[in-house]
């Protein structure tokens, strides 16, 4: 088994050409033809995550977010990126990231979030022009039974394990049709409005963006890590579907950079 063999399990449903122009999905560190026996799966790559890979004798790290996003002008221990790369190279650990190509797959990040929330009749929020059935941003789904906005917020918080949710003013409507985008989905709020959703769930919403719905739908910020956390299980499932006996393990290291203080 090689690094490329494992990568192919994911790119079959999320080809690298589906990544956004600014992205750096694919091989980050290592050799595509290198043999691989065990992979550690995470949302982000940190020095602590590489340490876990070393401790567990993994020779591949599969992440959602790229470790190397912008060009590196030097490789030194001055930054966490440099330390992580140097440690991975020293220990013969390859690093592969499946980012916006997996975001843009119908079988990707937003779909698994929608399924966890119990939504049905799933379709892409913003289908691509080239492959509208398979590729695009976000997801739209429906609840069979209407619920209040408060009940929807409770469901989201419980599903993603969030101690608190930021949201726009309650509208008083019942929730049936939901739009969502795991991670930074504020650019697709106009699509949510066009589709007439009752609520739109995403992350990284700026203050003034909460004015945008103007009562047309409930806007909910669930947090970037929180709305993408199920990607780890998705990556593992895609690998085991093709290679059932491969040793793929979800990391124990918490790579969420955001922490919460909830006053009592």
**Per-10-residue mean pLDDT for the chain, 264 residues long?**
98 97 97 98 98 98 95 88 96 98 98 98 97 97 98 98 94 97 97 97 97 96 98 98 98 95 81
Asked which of 99, 128, 149 is the last residue of a domain, the reply is 99
Residues 108 and 86 occupy one common structural domain: no
Strands, DSSP E only, in 128-174? 136-147, 166-167
Residues 133 and 110 occupy one common structural domain: yes
SS3 content of the chain, % helix, strand, coil (to 5): 35, 25, 40
232 in a structural domain = no
**DSSP assignment letter at 46:** -
pLDDT at 261: 87
Asked which of 84, 99, 114 is the last residue of a domain, the reply is 99
Count of the separate structural domains present in the chain: 2
Residues 178 and 88 occupy one common structural domain: no
Domain containing residue 42: CATH number? 3.40.1390.30
pLDDT at 150: 97
Asked which of 99, 115, 139 is the last residue of a domain, the reply is 99
pLDDT at 72: 83
For residue 59, the enclosing domain spans 3-99
C-alpha distances out from residue 130 to 24, 107, 180, Å: 21, 16, 22
Residues 120 and 64 occupy one common structural domain: no
94 in a structural domain = yes
Residues 80 and 161 occupy one common structural domain: no
């Amino acid at each position: 088994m090689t690094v490329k063999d494992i990568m192919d399990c994911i790119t079959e449903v999320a080809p690298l050409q589906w990544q956004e122009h600014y992205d750096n999905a694919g091989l980050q560190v290592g050799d595509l033809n290198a043999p691989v026996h065990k992979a550690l799966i995470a949302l982000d790559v940190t020095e602590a995550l590489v340490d876990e890979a070393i401790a567990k004798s993994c020779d591949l790290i599969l992440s959602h977010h790229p470790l190397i996003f912008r060009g590196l002008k030097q490789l030194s221990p001055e930054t966490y990126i440099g330390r992580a790369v140097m440690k991975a190279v020293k220990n013969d650990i390859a690093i592969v990231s499946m980012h916006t190509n997996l975001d843009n797959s119908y079988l990707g990040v937003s779909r698994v979030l929608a399924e966890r929330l119990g939504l049905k009749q799933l379709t892409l929020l913003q289908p691509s022009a080239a492959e509208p059935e398979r590729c695009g941003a976000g997801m739209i789904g429906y609840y069979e039974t209407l619920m209040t906005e408060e009940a929807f917020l409770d469901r989201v918080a419980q599903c993603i394990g969030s101690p608190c949710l930021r949201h726009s003013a309650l509208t008083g409507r019942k929730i049936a049709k939901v739009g969502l985008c795991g991670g930074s989905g504020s650019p697709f709020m106009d699509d949510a409005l066009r589709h007439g959703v009752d609520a739109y769930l995403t992350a990284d919403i700026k203050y003034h963006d909460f004015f945008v719905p103007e009562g047309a739908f409930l806007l909910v910020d669930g947090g970037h890590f929180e709305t993408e956390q199920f990607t780890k299980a998705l990556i593992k499932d895609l690998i085991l579907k093709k290679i059932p006996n491969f040793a793929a393990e979800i990391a124990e290291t918490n790579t969420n950079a955001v922490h919460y203080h909830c006053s009592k």
